[in-house]
Amino acid sequence: MSKKADKYNKRGVRASYVSTIVGISLVLFMIGLVLGGVFGLDNVQKQAKESLQGDLFFKPEQTEADIKQIEQKMKAWSEFTEVSFVSPERAIETFTSDEQNSEEILSIFEGENPLPPTISFRPKAEYANVEGMNGIVNKIMTEFPNEIDEVNYDKSSVQSVNLGFKQFVFLFLIVALLLIIVAVAMINNTIRLALYSKRFTIKTMQLVGATSRFIRGPFLVQSILQGLVSAILGMALMVTLFYALNNFLETIEISFDLYTFGVIFGSLVVIGVIITFVSTYFALNKYLRMKLDDLY
């Protein structure tokens, strides 16, 4: 009979351990989604800023050879992700939708291409703001005052891409903070419920002379393992979800480099271990201080 009872007790302990791991993993998965969203939003913002384009228009006496020399000099500058020479032929191909339309435009101008050669540039994300673009324009006009006639870019797009993302980031951070608070509370409750089922074991150990430190040891070690295993499972769930989205939704492409992956995984491990350790520590103190009659 006692063997049968021990068997049921062991099953109960294993079930409790598994349910705790599953609960914490789901919460860490939610936190991982928030962290992944933060990094993903940062990547989208960077791509949007670096998609902004500016064009340099040159004075009539400048030849294509002169313009290409300026292009080579600007490619060495640290402010740009891309600098490219745009010939009149390429410009009219970009301006028109097909070959027939380009021929029609050329026929209007008696076979002469009306578009001048230009240089197109795309700024790095840190320069894709009002101050950065003004600095780029001033640098270009200072470096090539006799060659360049005008630097043109869409100022409204520069302002909107920065203002729009600031508002979205602020809203996202508020939602993320609320989710993390809820997640922490859920992990804490999961740990407390798991320890509640072991309250008599804890009190029995205390009654037979075990010190509080001795009692805490195995539970705290177990909490660290729970946090680590839960972080691994939570990360696995998140990667699986992102993989599924990339394969089934053509309009969404989610990708993280090794550094970002490491930061998210490391964050989940730290968050999981700290929360489970702290929650276990305080829950244990509660039951260690309780009187035997209060356990019922």
Give me the pLDDT at residue 255, please.
Answer: 62
* Domain residue spans of the chain: 2-47+162-295, 53-153
Instruction: Establish how many alpha carbons lie within 13 A of residue 114's alpha carbon, considering only the half-sphere containing its beta carbon.
Output: 11
Q: State the pLDDT confidence band at 164, using cuts at 50, 70 and 90.
A: low
The residue with greater pLDDT, 219 or 169, is 219
pLDDT at 139: 93
pLDDT at 243 over 60: yes
Closest residue by Cα to residue 74 from 26, 124, 20: 124
d(CA 229, CA 27): 13
Higher-pLDDT residue of 293, 122: 122
CATH domain 53-153 topology: Alpha-Beta Plaits (3.30.70)
Whether 260 has a pLDDT exceeding 60, the answer reads yes
State yes or no: pLDDT of 40 exceeds 60. Answer: yes
Query: What mean pLDDT is predicted for residues 149-171?
Result: 79
Amino acid at 126: E
Of the listed ranges 6-20, 46-60, 189-203, the least confidently predicted one is 6-20
pLDDT, residue 80, reads 93
How confident is the model over 163-175, as a mean pLDDT?
72
Element of type H or E holding 205: helix 199-207
Q: Which residue has the tokens 């909107």?
A: 160
pLDDT tens digits for range 219-231 = 888 888 988 998 9
Which of the four pLDDT bands, split at 50, 70 and 90, describes residue 74?
very high
Q: Which long-range contacts (CB under 8 A, 24 or more apart) does 211-214 make?
A: 212/288
Q: What is the spatial distance between Cα 79 and Cα 226, in angstroms, rounded to a whole number?
A: 47
| pLDDT at 9 (0 to 100) | 46
